[in-house]
Structure 1
Amino acid sequence: MPSTIQSVELRNLQIQDYKELKKSMIESYPEMEDSFWEEDQIENLLQKFPEGQLVIVVDGVVVGSALSILVTEDFAFKTRTYKGITGNYTFSTHNDDGEVIYGIDVFINPKYRGLRLGRRLYDARKELCDQLNLKSIIFAGRIPNYGKFKDEITPKVYIDKVKKKEIYDPVLSFQLSNDFHEVRVLKNYLEGDKESQEYAVLLEWNNVYYDDSPKLINTTKSVVRLGLIQWQMRSLGNLEALFEQAEFFIDAVSGYGSDFALFPELFTAPLMADYNHLSEAEAIKELARHTEAVKLKFQEFAISYNINIITGSMPFIENGHVYNVGFLCKRDGTNEMYRKIHITPNEIFHWGITGGDVIQTFDTDCGKIGIVICYDVEFPELSRLMADEGMNILFVPFLTDTQNGYTRVKHCAQARAIENECYVAIAGCVGNLPKVNNMDIQYAQAAVFTPSDFAFPSNGIKAEATPNTEMTLIVDVDMNLLKELHQHGSVRTMKDRRKDLYQLKKLK
């Protein structure tokens, strides 16, 4: 796996990708002769079903692909060989009226395995199946490890052992973990597949939303799932221990299909214990030395777990000044920095923090979002400017030591949700750090707030975590409800402003 990755893109295959596609296929199937499709075959496939041909592109290079055709369910179940399902590799079996996607190939270049890119391709296929209003996804999966057991057990026994996790198969284990169920064993399926002894398992994934109206792939989601992390301050031996704890939570919220993971403000503070012999101002500078490594690791997590991560905040040194910053690490591999603009008296007195000077929104695959850090949410101008740019979700990582401090953040966040007709998600740290100066004890209750109208909870609170307890909070927010509110709400705070009397604008 490359040491650094700048971008990851999932898109439809284009014929211009062929040379890189061929190279990755050859590297993916080293044990198989003629393991790649010819260019005219790919061109034919693109003509028949362009939407079904997907690629993963890392830093401009095609490193994986998922190829498919449409067939009828009856044809998929009756056809027993790869030649048969592909029409002797001509794809003449493709049927525009077919109600199922038949997967004919999925691979990830070995150099890029371990980043869950294969899972991303499978998820994209499922999304396509849903959006095209198709019944299911069917394909025959190889069982490449069966060759090691062929003299001991039958394919049926082998499959049962893989299902029970007594045997690991790199293909079948992965497919079963992606909610595919086996239909039958196929004999002599793929000619020349010595690893599988030419056996395959016919697998199916059923689309439970089959009757829904079709959409196009990669459209902005109408329902966005938020994963808020209420982080326990605890002693951590080193940076790796922090990464291990962070990955645990990212794994948890991504496992529930969250689109965003939100960490609190200054959640890296436990690492300052090593610098407690220094002044607070020097200790925060030492903590800032970890910031670049944290950003890179979270960028990797965003790719691996297919989730957008808001890294809370951490100290950052630039031109001799210490800033309180965080990063939006997107699942496409890119990242953007945001800075705390309003600095509390405590931060200035103890740490010498400097305020940022950029007010911005961020475009994501779930729409436009805003991010403000803790104290910033108490200044309504910031989020109003963001709302004017189309922000629908405002994220607020915070750190408060007392309940009255938390109350300020909570109620101001609720006000921002109402006045800007948006969702506001807040997440903070809990617990204590007795060995870190100026970080005594923390109070927090993660929550998601909504506008106050009939389509939303009457108290404007979508969900709240248990106060002062380490946990995650998983919350779905519906973008369509905001659209309805903007046009037909009981009150329309964004539209009804008296711009003839007052206006708000950025100065820079």
Structure 2
Amino acid sequence: MIRLAACQYAIELFETWEAYVAHLERLCAEAAEQGAQMLLLPEYAGLVLSGQLPAAQRSDLKGSIAGIQPLIEPWLALCEGIARRYGVYLQPGSAPVLDADGHYRNRAWLFGPEGRLGHQDKLMMTRFEREQWDIAAGQGLTVFDTALGRLGILICYDNEFPMLARTLAEGGADLILAPSCTDTEAGYHRVRIGAQARALESQIAVLQSPTVGQASWSPALDENVGRAGLFVPPDRGLPGNGVVSESLVLDPGHCQWLICDLDLEQVRQVRRDGQVFTRRDWPEQFERACLCSALQRG
């Protein structure tokens, strides 16, 4: 049994580095004190760093992501220190990062008690990212080996594409972390439904952490709606609706942790002896679909 913590992360304005550090340390300490072993924050949680920029710069869409670049490494060092201090795994959300090729990418890092474990870039860009923000897609998927189990990260929109989760599952991942940032209830539900569908299809667990609240000072994070949740395949020994736990309201008005326990061995048992074998039957599904397509063309 492992204890997970997914944050409904309220976007707040912290105008100094010291204020932000106190906020993040206090927030993570709260989850660690409740026994959480894995802490998940949402997509673009790192953009809260833009609150430290001059008002004119933080209110400019592209200026805000350029302005936080010098803060990225100190932020990562802070996150690493928190993970080491509390002996937890921490996925502190994502941030847009300028790569050597001149393109920004939406990147999520994973830290553990032993330090920085690596990162995962977002692969599927939303229209906002592509058309207004010029954020480029990353490449490749990573499965992280941890003391809690093997896991992967799919950032927000990535959860709406079945083959990404399937690739992680075939790589041995039992748990997918799904940091998200959505500005409408419809957007939240697209990611949430995708996350639950991925849990069903590959018979794995998916943990979602969203942004919430209003932040008029940030053109990227001005409106935020979402619930934290932990989803599993609805099958023997697991909840009949596939929802282990979910936040009660879309916007609590403040940062709030969803603390939940997960038995990954129960999830694995469903793959071995479930009422259905959606994961095992995946290849057969595609074979039948290809056969039907060939017959229709003939």
TM-score by length of 1: 0.54
Q: Tell me: CA distance 1:484–1:335, structure 2 relative to 1, closer, same or farther (3 Å).
A: closer
Separation in 1, partners of 2:89, 2:177: 12
**Paired residue for 1:468?**
251
| 2:138 counterpart of 1:352 | no
Contact 1:225 1:259 in 2 (8 A): yes
**Paired residue for 1:390?**
172
Separation in 2, partners of 1:380, 1:449: 15
Separation in 2, partners of 1:409, 1:228: 15
1:171-227 Cα deviation digits (max 9, x unpaired) = xxxxxxxxxxxxxxxxxxxxxxxxxxxxxxxxxxxxxxxxxxxxxxxxxxxx11101
| 2:275 counterpart of 1:490 | yes
| 2:97 counterpart of 1:312 | no
**Paired residue for 2:82?**
301
- RMSD after superposition: 1.7
Separation in 2, partners of 1:329, 1:438: 25
Separation in 1, partners of 2:70, 2:106: 13
Separation in 1, partners of 2:124, 2:40: 20
Contact 1:373 1:397 in 2 (8 A): yes
Out of 142, 148, 157, the residue aligned to residue 366 of structure 1 is 148
Secondary structure class of the residue paired with 1:474: strand
Separation in 1, partners of 2:205, 2:80: 25
**Paired residue for 2:121?**
339
Q: Tell me: CA distance 1:438–1:251, structure 2 relative to 1, closer, same or farther (3 Å).
A: closer
| 2:213 counterpart of 1:431 | yes
**Paired residue for 1:501?**
287
**Paired residue for 1:290?**
71
Separation in 1, partners of 2:28, 2:178: 18
| 2:56 counterpart of 1:277 | yes
Separation in 1, partners of 2:220, 2:119: 25
1:259 deviates by: 1.3
The structure, 1 or 2, with the larger RCO (C-alpha pairs under 8 Å, 6+ apart) is 2
1:349 deviates by: 2.4
**Paired residue for 2:19?**
241
The structure whose residues are more often helix, as a share, is 2
1:502 deviates by: 8.0
1:184-263 equivalence runs, <5 A: 223-263=1-41
1:282 deviates by: 2.5
Listed as ranges, the gaps of 5+ residues in structure 1 are 1-222, 504-508
Separation in 1, partners of 2:129, 2:91: 21
Aligned length: 281
Contact 1:291 1:315 in 2 (8 A): no
1:276 deviates by: 5.0
1:267 deviates by: 1.3
- One-letter identity of the residue aligned with 1:267: A
| 2:218 counterpart of 1:440 | no
Secondary structure class of the residue paired with 2:45: coil
Secondary structure class of the residue paired with 1:289: helix
Separation in 2, partners of 1:289, 1:418: 41
1:438 deviates by: 3.4
**Paired residue for 1:60?**
none
1:389 deviates by: 1.1
Separation in 1, partners of 2:54, 2:156: 25
- One-letter identity of the residue aligned with 2:91: I
Out of 171, 183, 187, the residue aligned to residue 401 of structure 1 is 183
Separation in 1, partners of 2:182, 2:160: 13
Q: Tell me: CA distance 1:275–1:315, structure 2 relative to 1, closer, same or farther (3 Å).
A: farther
Identity of aligned residues (%): 28
Higher alpha-carbon deviation: 257-266 or 331-340:
331-340
Q: Tell me: CA distance 1:452–1:495, structure 2 relative to 1, closer, same or farther (3 Å).
A: same
Contact 1:309 1:330 in 2 (8 A): yes
TM superposition outliers: structure 1 runs of 4+ over 3 Å: none
Separation in 1, partners of 2:219, 2:62: 10
Contact 1:401 1:442 in 2 (8 A): yes
1:4-50 Cα deviation digits (max 9, x unpaired) = xxxxxxxxxxxxxxxxxxxxxxxxxxxxxxxxxxxxxxxxxxxxxxx
Secondary structure class of the residue paired with 1:438: coil
1:494 deviates by: 1.3
Q: Tell me: CA distance 1:235–1:416, structure 2 relative to 1, closer, same or farther (3 Å).
A: same
**Larger Rg over CA atoms:** 1
Contact 2:46 2:93 in 1 (8 A): no
Contact 2:123 2:138 in 1 (8 A): yes
TM-score by length of 2: 0.90
Separation in 2, partners of 1:242, 1:371: 25
Secondary structure class of the residue paired with 1:234: coil
Secondary structure class of the residue paired with 1:257: coil
